[in-house]
Amino acid sequence: MAEILANMSGTVIEVLVKVGDTIAEDQDVVSVESMKMEMMIQATASGTVKEIKVNAEDFVQEGQALLVVE
């Protein structure tokens, strides 16, 4: 199992995947607003989404787990 981590602090705008989705490495999975700019967080591993650890409007810290992929 792998965790997809936030690479910046900010507010989650949208989670672009759901549990059960198959994702590819470098695929956009979460959009985050940081300093009034929307940034996409990309998957660092491919596989099936097993768990989503954040929701829209959550504030996340850099390094925080967003998704679990298997």
Contact between 60 and 66 (Cβ < 8 Å): yes
pLDDT at 4: 96
pLDDT at 53: 98
Quote the percentage of the chain above a pLDDT of 70. 100
pLDDT at 15: 98
Domain boundaries, the chain: 2-69
Tell me the C-alpha distance between 48 and 66, whole Å.
14
Number of H helices, E strands in the chain: 0, 8
pLDDT interval class at 38 (50, 70, 90)? very high
Architecture of domain 2-69: Beta Barrel (2.40)
Tell me the C-alpha distance between 47 and 39, whole Å.
22
What value does the mean pLDDT of the chain take?
Answer: 96
Tell me the C-alpha distance between 65 and 20, whole Å.
17
Q: What is the mean pLDDT of residues 35-56?
A: 96
